[in-house]
Amino acid sequence: MFSVGIITASDKGAQGQRVDESGKVIQDILSEKGYIVIRYVVLPDDYEQLSREMIYMADTLKANLILTTGGTGFSERDITPEATKSVIEREVPGVAEAIRAYSLAFTPRAMLSRGVCGIRGKTVILNLPGSPKAVKESLEYVMDSIQHGLEILLGKTAECARQ
């Protein structure tokens, strides 16, 4: 199956002042789907650390998928999308747009999410919201399409047409 790296962006989580529930939700959902979690880290909202970790997971560990949670809002320290944009080679805007559109059914504040999605080499990188509930809803909505995208990216299938 596919390998995944999980990054939680949280100053308080990195300092041990908050339990990382969102990263655990990601881990649980993907493990149930047969993905292999090869690395899971909690980092502060720091541009250099986040971008360096994404590069490490993609280039050295060869993760097929990197999922981040947190750091996508309006706070001055929320810089996960900027760190992601600095490491991706190709954007996949439809995934982040789909998450926002779907999430609007639950809360109008979904429009404030700045999460992005893109590709670095053979790795898909996706920013998820910070709340466990939003992570669960978002992943359940996009994972089938993400998996199909991974199959295409890795040459396991070439067709995108509906059957």
Let me know how many helices (H) and strands (E) the chain has, helices first.
Answer: 6, 6
Q: Tell me the fold of 3-153.
A: Molybdenum Cofactor Biosythetic Enzyme; Chain A (3.40.980)
User: Per-residue pLDDT for 140 more than 60?
Assistant: yes
User: Per-residue pLDDT for 163 more than 60?
Assistant: no
Q: Any idea where the domains of the chain sit in the sequence? A: 3-153
11-64 pLDDT tens trace: 999 999 999 999 999 999 999 999 999 999 999 999 999 999 999 999 999 999
CA distances from 133 to 46, 105, 108, 136 (A): 24, 13, 15, 5
CA distances from 78 to 44, 61, 81, 98 (A): 10, 26, 8, 21
Q: How confident is the model at residue 157 (pLDDT cuts 50, 70, 90)?
A: confident
pTM of the model: 0.95
CA distances from 26 to 31, 42, 132, 163 (A): 8, 13, 9, 29
